[in-house]
Amino acid sequence: MDARTLPPVIRLSPEDGVVIARIAIPEATTVAEGVTTNRRIPPGHKIATRAHVKGEAIRRYGQIIGFATDAIAPGDWVHTHNCAMGDFAKDYAWGVDARPTPMITPAATFMGIRRADGRVATRNYIGIVTSVNCSAHVADLIADAFKRNPFTGQDPLAEFPNVDGVVALTHKTGCGMTMGEPLRLLRRTLAGFARHVNFSHVIAIGLGCEVNQLGPMLEEQKLAGRLRNMDIQEMGGTRKTVEAGIAFVKEVLAEANRVQREPVPASELIVALQCGGSDGYSGITANPALGAASDLVVRHGGTVILSETPETYGAEHLLTRRAVSREVGEKLVAKMRWWEEYTAREGAEMNANPSPGNKAGGLTTILEKSLGAMAKGGTTNLTAVYDYAEPVTAKGFTFMDTPGYDPVGATGQVAGGANLLCFTTGRGSVFGMKPTPSIKLATNTAMYERMVDDMDVNCGTILTGEESVAQCGERIFQLMLRVASGERTKSEGYDFGSSEFAPWTLGATM
């Protein structure tokens, strides 16, 4: 498609009173019916498509990004000179924007694996959880025994086509660590993986003398019946533990293989939302498109998990307005206060205000900037707020408190039970996370083409005008259903997802 024939603007939501300039637009250009620019508009900046009276809310992604500080006419450039947050951030306005979600019935279906406890899996792995770094290599040795050999093609799991693999989940902590919340958080994370629906069977391996003792962890997390556990010291060292681990896997393979996919409703989807390596297009292509797909997941009865708390900071008012209850909203606000304290203590800073560069790029307010990331969550009501790695049981649009850093954030979301993950990227990430398949969405066509071995979806089509945000969202939703049914993502093809297991570590290392 030739650049000169492309539509000059992008509409992110039908509810919006502004559109975004895809390219620099000269004065006196008609960009929509009855909307003609009255000055040059820089790329990424906003043009009003209807009149706003002074004080009226200005919406992008269907959400408030600020208020008119002056009367705004169709065709006007909208930026800091006529749009500001005003007193918005002084009032959490609990739930004022919550509204009934138009559900879609009957819900779409995918081919899932229904477990005995009723939960639905999208993959079928055997997991090896480790209590401490000291048992990491032993866990790897067990998992390696079931790995396909790239030289010979020999596949120890060839007879078990319904088993996706054996995954060792190793990390750097578990001892020399601070008691209290740091230890609780690690246990919650490990337990979340140990009970993940995408594992048919799990082994837990400890050393024996670590702070994070397996016994108390299994008891605290009520996991005792779910898994086989072994301590290397009790087993008599590396060789005996590896042999016992391999024997256990061999013992359960036939049973693990005995699963069948069957049609299940899309309401069984629990989708983790991530972005990493954002660029200037993230907020106008992949993130809003994923938001449109998130709205579809929710309208089909499923769950989406927005996270990355530091990227929501300062714009939490948008979510408190959509909260289904004051309690839910207050839990979110308490997280923001916790982060202020955490970052101050650690010599880091929380500041989401648009930088001069952001403003030059067209971002007017902190709300608009944060929405670039938050747009992934769509527009439905906020139904629950979770701690890092806490089991996600609510339906609808939920929030989990995590860092923005991809592996740590995604580890919390998957520990919470996500059975699908969608990851938008502008610069190009090669992320994957077992046992949950990760769909990677490129914000622009150039990067998509350059890293096509790693990208599952090109959302650059929105920029070129080939697709609307809604159309791209529908395409993502359809891919979600196929991936949940077993279609392999690019990162699964390269066996990503074990290195990326990264529990959030708090506290001192002693």
Which H, E and C letters describe 272-304, residue by residue? EEEECCCCCCCCCCHHHHHHHHHHHHHHCCCEE
Q: How many CB atoms lie within 10 A of CB 180?
A: 10
* Collapsed DSSP state (helix, strand, coil) of residue 149: coil
DSSP state of 444: S
- What are the Cα distances from residue 494, in Å, to 60, 166, 185, 285? 37, 15, 30, 26
Among 165, 276, 377, 473, binds its own copies (CB under 8 A): 276
154 binds its own copies (CB under 8 A): yes
Q: Say how far apart CA 143 and CA 131 lie, in whole Å.
A: 16
According to CB under 5 A, which residues from 183 to 222 bind Ca ion?
none
Cα–Cα distance for residue pair 52/50, rounded to 1 Å:
7
Pick out residues in 393-432 that bind its own copies (CB under 8 A): 403-408, 427-432
175 contacts which partner out of its own copies, Ca ion, none, CB within 5 to 8 A by kind? its own copies
Please identify which residue in the block is written with the tokens 């024939």. 5
Helix (H) or strand (E) holding 260: none
CA 375 to CA 361: how far, in whole Å?
18
What's the CA gap between 478 and 474, in Å, rounded? 6
Residue from the set 145, 259, 333, 352 that interacts with its own copies by CB under 8 A: 145
Site track 429-448 with its own copies (rule: CB under 8 A), x = hit: xxxx--------------x-
Least distance between its own copies and beta carbon 70 (Å): 36
431 binds Ca ion (CB under 5 A): yes
Least distance to its own copies from the beta carbon of 438, Å?
Answer: 12
CA distance 52 to 488: 47
- Return the closest-CA partner of residue 227 out of 245, 254, 209: 245
Q: How many CA atoms lie within 13 A of 52 on its CB side?
A: 24
Residue 82 or residue 425: which is nearer to its own copies going by CB? 425
Residue 207 contact partner, candidates Ca ion, its own copies, none, CB within 5 to 8 A by sort of partner: its own copies
In whole angstroms, what is the distance from residue 292 CA to residue 214 CA? 42
Tell the smallest beta-carbon distance from residue 497 to its own copies (Å): 8
**Residue 438 bridge partners (DSSP):** 421
CB-based contacts of 5: which residues, under 8 Å, 6+ apart? Answer: none
CB of 477 to its own copies, least distance (A): 25
Residue among 23, 32, 107, 175 that touches its own copies (CB under 8 A)? 175
By beta-carbon proximity to Ca ion, the closer residue of 98 and 439 is 439
- Is 293:349 a contact under the CB 8 Å cutoff? no
Q: Does 342 bind its own copies (CB under 8 A)?
A: yes
Q: Does 277 bind its own copies (CB under 8 A)?
A: yes
180 binds, among its own copies, Ca ion, none (CB under 5 to 8 A by kind): its own copies
Least gap, CB of 501 to Ca ion (angstroms): 9
Binding residues with Ca ion: total (CB under 5 A)? 8
Which residue type is seen at 277? G
- Tell whether residue 509 is a contact of its own copies (CB under 8 A): yes
The region of 24-32, 73-81, 131-139, 320-328 touching its own copies under the rule CB under 8 A is: 131-139
Which three-class secondary structure state does DSSP give residue 396?
Answer: strand
Residues 130-169 that bind Ca ion (CB under 5 A): 134
Site string for Ca ion, 367-406 (x = CB under 5 A): -------------------------------------x-x
Provide the mask over 259-288, with x wherever binding to Ca ion is found by CB under 5 A and - wherever it is not.
---------------x-x------------
Interface with its own copies (CB under 8 A), residue total 78
Shortest approach of Ca ion to residue 454 CB, angstroms? 9
Q: In this complex, which beta carbon is closest to its own copies, that of residue 27 or of residue 453?
A: 453
Residue type for position 164 = D
**Residues at the site binding Ca ion, with contacts judged by CB under 5 A:** 134, 274, 276, 404, 406, 409, 430-431
